Structure 1
Amino acid sequence: MAFSKAGATLCNVVLSILITSSFIVPSSAGAFVGMNYGLDGDNLPSPQQAVDFMKKHGMAQVRIYDTNAAILNALAGSNIQVMVGIPNEEILSVGESNVTAANWVKKNIATYLPNTNITGIAVGSEVLSDYPSLASVLLPTINYVHEALVAMSLDTQIKISTPIAASLIEDSFPPSQASFNQTYARTVIEPLLDFLSQTGSYLLINIYPLDIYQQNQKVMSIDYALFRPNSGIMDSNTNLLYTNVFDAMIDAAFSAMAELNHTDFSVVVSETGWPSRGDTDEVGVSVDNAATYANNLVKHILNNTGTPRRPGIAINTYIYELFNEDRRQGATSEKNYGIYYPDQTPVYSLDTTGAGMISVTGPANRTWCVAKQGVSSSSLQAAMDFACGEGSADCSQIQPGQTCFNPDSVPAHASYAFNSYYQRNSMASGSCDFAGVATVTTIDPSLGQCIYPSGSQGNQSISIGNLKSSGAGSTYCQSLILLGPIIMLVSTLRLDLVVQL
């Protein structure tokens, strides 16, 4: 039946009550999705118009490629967190000495504080891949700029790093065997990682799954690049299953860092995206694929899914990019990475804030039962046979064609079966062991539409998408109205509610 205007109004009222109610506390933890914003195009909005556009769409993090005064002034008072850049062509002049670096910080950073919320500086971009002649001055420049920040007491607010290309990581699959390009691993990257560790910063990396897919399309499905359901690829060294390029590259970076004795700081994705238009020979380029990648990426990041190597660990990510820029050099695709056209109309629909979903989760002590890493498939299969047979676990959802069949692997199916048995036995002591092949976790193993039953009695995850004028919208609204008293009741019992708005 049609969703009437009156019904929509009622639903909006209920939403407003729930959102503004003191019973509900918006989540401030977890990862964010920011935007890259450049000016290399014709007919782009003015910086003030662009900032107003960001605020209108709830964008709270942005990366720019220089220290453009018009943009930084427009950002003043917006509270949008901004990462600024030192262009590659300016590295030599900025890093000439500690004096030149201090002057640069004073002019391009301190001038705009505190009104403009500058939180990061990216020194160059893909310097080691595209400008190898600057390799010897990259780290000295970073150090000089950091010393200037320290002298001005800005080093705790503003972190410094340099974006590297994913191609700098060699032998990236399986991720566990990855390492950095040997030309720079010990001479540049290792001291860079030392610096990042000492200053509490992060490694910036640019990841473009389309490029990786185009180079490996004979052995890689496009679903694997787009976060769409697929059987995945197993890392034989760790028995970790990878179902997308993005996670595999992040974990490859972690492995490469570990080889240089660093596991003590995070990775931030400084650029990732998918073009909506390309030349005829550019395989995989389309509006549909761009929309699929971006929307699946946002869900993956905002759900704090993490990676197989580091599940549940936030991976902050900047999408490339806000607007199409027609003056970009190179193939047609280079000009069409934007989420929006210069006239501010969408190339495709994307919500980077999670505002279209309300997610209600139970207490922080929820638990699940999953297969241990490194256990042989034969041991897992034997335990799964018991769980699905004599143990009376519900294994219907891991059958072919069902929501949890993919990833089609013994560890994934065993985890679902173990968790079902664990929940059906009220999470009793010893119900998550299976002769030592299972373990209890507080990290939700759910993936996509495959939802693992919660380990907290009576508390289930609830997702309500953007309401539309349809029968489905009416159903969502009715659900929201019915859930309102429940949400408030739960909050009065002092359970942790996370509302992503």
Structure 2
Amino acid sequence: MGFLDAKDCKAFMAPISLLLGFFLSGLELTGAQSVGVCYGRNGNNLPSEADVINLYKRNGIGRMRIYEPNQPTLNALRGSNIELIIGIPNDNLQALTDAAAATKWVQNNVRNYWPDVKFRYIAVGNVVHPSDAEAQFVLPAMQNISNAIAAADLQDQIKVSTSIDTTLVENTYPPSQGSFIGGAASSFIKPIVDFLVSSGAPLLVNVYPYFAYTKNPQDLSLPYALFTSPGVVVTDPEGNRGYQNLFDALLDAHYSALEKAGAPNLQIVVSESGWPSEGGDGASVENAGTFYRNLINHVKGGTPMRPGQAIETYLFAMFDENLKTPETERHFGLFSPSQQPKYQISFRDANKYTYMYIALNNRVLMRCIQ
């Protein structure tokens, strides 16, 4: 398959569209606004909600994740066109196993703001583990919230999921060997995966190369974690896929786990990924800036197992949060609480990325990019 940049693509398209005309079986134009930013509020020196929304808009950030239905934030989002992941805290899950309570939650926190607020996903719980007391409530709460969304006739606009972290997958090296840990696969993750498949929702996964690197610096190099390795670091014998960065390897291990769980077509949304600027091993302004810039650029194009598919990704986080612990957790912000950027990052370029596929008789002839 050939590959053209934007300028050559336009030059190619003009005559070919005239020559092939009705013979073209398909022309697919897909925009990929793939990068959002998580808005954590665990600090006592953060800007007002209205100022935060304006900061998103000034920087061209079109997607946001919040962790609870904070009313001032939802009101500030009205009319902003920012697409939203809204979270349900873990300590609220048990109450939502009651269908009436789930209906009331959707009314109060979604229907009262729709369509002025563009809800994209509802994250029912964040990184609940199979051993947690809340684990038994995740799926029933997801089902009740999903039913309430359907009753509001919003099931085509808003999908219900939950967010996990990478500790639920084992055998991540090589990525094709990735699988969900035994107990989780049978009693926790597998029913959730089945629900997501049936409802057409993605799985939300928090993917942090930083933590994987700091736990195993002997085997995982800093360049591999920062997207700066000059060549392939890991070759997966299955499919002969080469991995030049840790982010792709972690993500593809999850796709492998989903395949083994009977969900080969389930999509993953990276609901968090970030790097701290201080407070831990490998944490520095230079490393964090390198990671964020490279991540933003990288997620436009997919992984070795899912090439050509933009990865919807949410950077963690908008601000440093001074009430978090341990110390490292306080320094993941892209901006300081004074709203000053910590790094030179362009979100507008990141979210202007388009694939164009030109097909003849169901065969892709040319892929254009702009």
TM-score normalised by the shorter chain: which range applies? 0.7 to 0.9
Q: In structure 2, give the amino acid aligned to 1:204.
A: L
**Secondary structure of 1:186's match?**
helix
Q: 2: distance between equivalents of 1:84 and 1:28?
A: 25
TM-score w.r.t. length of structure 1: 0.65
How far is 1:94 from its partner? Answer: 2.0
- Which runs of structure 2 are paired with 1:117-132 in the superposition (5 Å)? 117-128=118-129, 132=132
Aligned: 1:308 with 2:304: yes
**Secondary structure of 2:219's match?**
coil
How far is 1:67 from its partner? Answer: 0.5
- Which runs of structure 2 are paired with 1:190-209 in the superposition (5 Å)? 190-209=190-209
> Could you tell me whether the CA contact under 8 Å between 1:203 and 1:267 is conserved in 2?
yes
- Which runs of structure 2 are paired with 1:251-262 in the superposition (5 Å)? 251-262=252-263
> Could you tell me whether the CA contact under 8 Å between 1:312 and 1:443 is conserved in 2?
no
Q: 2: distance between equivalents of 1:138 and 1:359?
A: 35
Q: In structure 1, give the amino acid aligned to 2:243.
A: Y
Aligned: 1:318 with 2:320: no
Q: 2: distance between equivalents of 1:245 and 1:228?
A: 10
Q: How many residues align?
A: 339
Which of 275, 281, 294 is equivalent to 2:292?
A: 294
1:284 is aligned to: 282
**Secondary structure of 2:31's match?**
coil
Q: In structure 2, give the amino acid aligned to 1:314.
A: A
How far is 1:62 from its partner? Answer: 0.2
Deviations 1:349-385 (A, max 9, x none): 1112316x98899x7449xxxxxxxxxxxxxxxxxxx
Q: 2: distance between equivalents of 1:307 and 1:334?
A: 27
How far is 1:119 from its partner? Answer: 1.5
How far is 1:296 from its partner? Answer: 0.3
> Could you tell me whether the CA contact under 8 Å between 2:357 and 2:364 is conserved in 1?
no
In structure 1, stretches of 5+ residues that fail to align are: 1-26, 367-439, 445-495
Q: In structure 1, give the amino acid aligned to 2:84.
A: V
In structure 2, stretches of 5+ residues that fail to align are: 1-28
Calculate the aligned-residue CA RMSD, in Å. 2.2
Deviations 1:199-218 (A, max 9, x none): 11001000110111112211
Q: In structure 1, give the amino acid aligned to 2:227.
A: F
Q: In structure 2, give the amino acid aligned to 1:49.
A: D
Q: In structure 2, give the amino acid aligned to 1:333.
A: T
> Could you tell me whether the CA contact under 8 Å between 2:358 and 2:366 is conserved in 1?
no
In percent, how many aligned pairs have the same letter? Answer: 37
Q: 1:342 to 1:244 in 2, by over 3 A?
A: same
Q: 2: distance between equivalents of 1:236 and 1:360?
A: 31
Q: In structure 1, give the amino acid aligned to 2:171.
A: D
2:226 is aligned to: 226
> Could you tell me whether the CA contact under 8 Å between 1:84 and 1:118 is conserved in 2?
yes
Q: 2: distance between equivalents of 1:167 and 1:78?
A: 35
Q: 1: distance between equivalents of 2:110 and 2:212?
A: 36
Q: 2: distance between equivalents of 1:316 and 1:359?
A: 12
TM-score w.r.t. length of structure 2: 0.87
How far is 1:442 from its partner? Answer: 6.4
Deviates more, 1:264-273 or 1:226-235: 226-235
Q: 1:108 to 1:295 in 2, by over 3 A?
A: same
Name the structure, 1 or 2, with higher relative contact order (CA <8 Å, separation 6+).
2
Regions of 4+ moved over 6 Å: 357-361, 440-444
> Could you tell me whether the CA contact under 8 Å between 1:83 and 1:121 is conserved in 2?
yes
2:26 is aligned to: none
Deviations 1:272-322 (A, max 9, x none): 0000011xxx221110000000000000113xx211111111210000000
Q: In structure 2, give the amino acid aligned to 1:75.
A: L
Q: 2: distance between equivalents of 1:119 and 1:359?
A: 20
1:45 is aligned to: 47
Aligned: 1:340 with 2:335: yes
Q: 1:234 to 1:442 in 2, by over 3 A?
A: farther
> Could you tell me whether the CA contact under 8 Å between 2:33 and 2:352 is conserved in 1?
no
> Could you tell me whether the CA contact under 8 Å between 1:33 and 1:353 is conserved in 2?
no
Q: 1:225 to 1:344 in 2, by over 3 A?
A: same
Q: 1:306 to 1:358 in 2, by over 3 A?
A: closer
Which of 42, 58, 61 is equivalent to 2:60?
A: 58
Q: In structure 2, give the amino acid aligned to 1:167.
A: T
> Could you tell me whether the CA contact under 8 Å between 2:124 and 2:161 is conserved in 1?
yes
Q: 2: distance between equivalents of 1:39 and 1:296?
A: 26
Q: 1:243 to 1:31 in 2, by over 3 A?
A: farther
> Could you tell me whether the CA contact under 8 Å between 1:176 and 1:235 is conserved in 2?
yes
How far is 1:31 from its partner? Answer: 4.7
Q: 1:176 to 1:359 in 2, by over 3 A?
A: closer
